[in-house]
Structure 1
Amino acid sequence: AMPERYQAMVDLGAGCGLRQGEILGIAVDAVDFDSDTLHVVQQLKLSQSKPVFAPPKGGKLRDVPLPGPVADALRAHMKRFPPVEITLPWKTADGPKVTRSLIFAAPGGNHVWRPNLNEESWKPALVAAGVIPAPESKRDGYAAAREHGMHALRHFYASALLDGGENIKAVSEYLGHSNAALTLRIYAHLMPSSQERTRTAIATVYDRAQEPG
């Protein structure tokens, strides 16, 4: 239900675990289709209420596996909406100017403003999908709830990896957390129960021991 020019953002959040600022700041050279890797090296954020490019949260650069469906979505997006060169300060409002070829841009050719994206595209898409109710009036606006932000896509990514059996250290690295303990505190409740894995592991050992020869 997102506008077409923003639909691939959902793939980057749900399929690669990127934060919203990292999605808005993703540049063409960060996507390596040959090695199926996404280089998360910058974000688009505000400094003194002005947009800037900056390293990811905590300065933690990382490489994230690029799944096939996400790569396909990005290729289709860039074919439909060619990347746009955007020049902004680096790290601080008075920092040196840098130019990046951004994958996502606003209709007018400028970078995407987070408040506009949230209120004009993301929240209406949640309403259309039946996730949140429509506001009773424009004056009321959408109900504020952290779980209804684009960060929810990142939680989906983490839960899908853990449910698929990926180890917590790898999940932590892909999310860009400072350490695996932080990831464990946030997502421990999403980890599948180890009891059935234990039963299966031991039963398998017994089965092999009873095999002839």
Structure 2
Amino acid sequence: MKPDGPLVTKRLYFSLTGGGAVRRTDFNTRVWKLALVQAGVIPEPKEGERHQAAREHGMHALRHFYASVLLDAGENIKALSSYLGHGDPGFTLRVYTHLMPSSDGRARRAVDGLYEGPGSTSDGPGTAQAE
């Protein structure tokens, strides 16, 4: 809990077959990258070579995806900042806000909804596209 505090032992959710912690780099190389190859996202490395080193293909991409999905779903930035372990919600906004494809549509619906009365139909871009 504290650098000078008492030692605390916790059971690991995931461990190696022989015991011990699963390191992020091992998981990234032995599991994650293999899954990306099988999904056709990255090419299989040549014999004796390593997988491509690209941040967008690493485990960190899942963190960005998680943050973007929660923001797109309307999660509070302060809560998301806490989930990600950030002390400053402004940092979370600067680093993890990626526009999702549904963001434009959600913004249009919000503005359309402001001007719609009970039982009225939208005259916005979605109406013209539906015809």
TM-score under structure 2 normalisation? Answer: 0.71
Aligned counterpart, 2:68 = 159
Aligned counterpart, 1:84 = none
**What is the rounded CA distance, in whole Å, between the counterparts of 1:187 and 1:116 in structure 2?**
25
Aligned counterpart, 2:93 = 184
Q: Which residue of the other structure, out of 111, 136, 156, is the alignment partner of 2:46?
A: 136
1:105-116 equivalence runs, <5 A: 105-116=15-26
Bigger CA radius of gyration: 2
Q: How many angstroms does 1:165 deviate by? A: 2.1
- Structure 1 residue 119 corresponds to structure 2 residue 32: no
**What is the rounded CA distance, in whole Å, between the counterparts of 2:77 and 2:46 in structure 1?**
42
**What is the rounded CA distance, in whole Å, between the counterparts of 2:18 and 2:84 in structure 1?**
31
For structure 1, the residue ranges without an aligned partner over 5 or more in a row are 1-54, 56-89
Aligned counterpart, 1:102 = 12
CA contact (8 A) 2:67 2:97 kept: no
Aligned counterpart, 1:196 = 109
Aligned counterpart, 1:168 = 77
Q: How many angstroms does 1:133 deviate by? A: 0.9
Higher strand share: 1
**What is the rounded CA distance, in whole Å, between the counterparts of 1:98 and 1:173 in structure 2?**
23
RMSD: 2.7
**What is the rounded CA distance, in whole Å, between the counterparts of 1:173 and 1:195 in structure 2?**
29
Paired-residue identity, % = 51
Aligned counterpart, 1:81 = none
1:2-21 equivalence runs, <5 A: none
**What is the rounded CA distance, in whole Å, between the counterparts of 1:121 and 1:162 in structure 2?**
28
Q: How many angstroms does 1:134 deviate by? A: 0.6
For structure 2, the residue ranges without an aligned partner over 5 or more in a row are 121-131
**What is the rounded CA distance, in whole Å, between the counterparts of 2:88 and 2:57 in structure 1?**
26
Change (3 A) 1:170 1:97: closer
1:48-87 equivalence runs, <5 A: none
**What is the rounded CA distance, in whole Å, between the counterparts of 1:136 and 1:91 in structure 2?**
44
Runs of 4+ that moved beyond 3 A: 95-98
**What amino acid does structure 1 have at the position aligned with 2:56?**
E
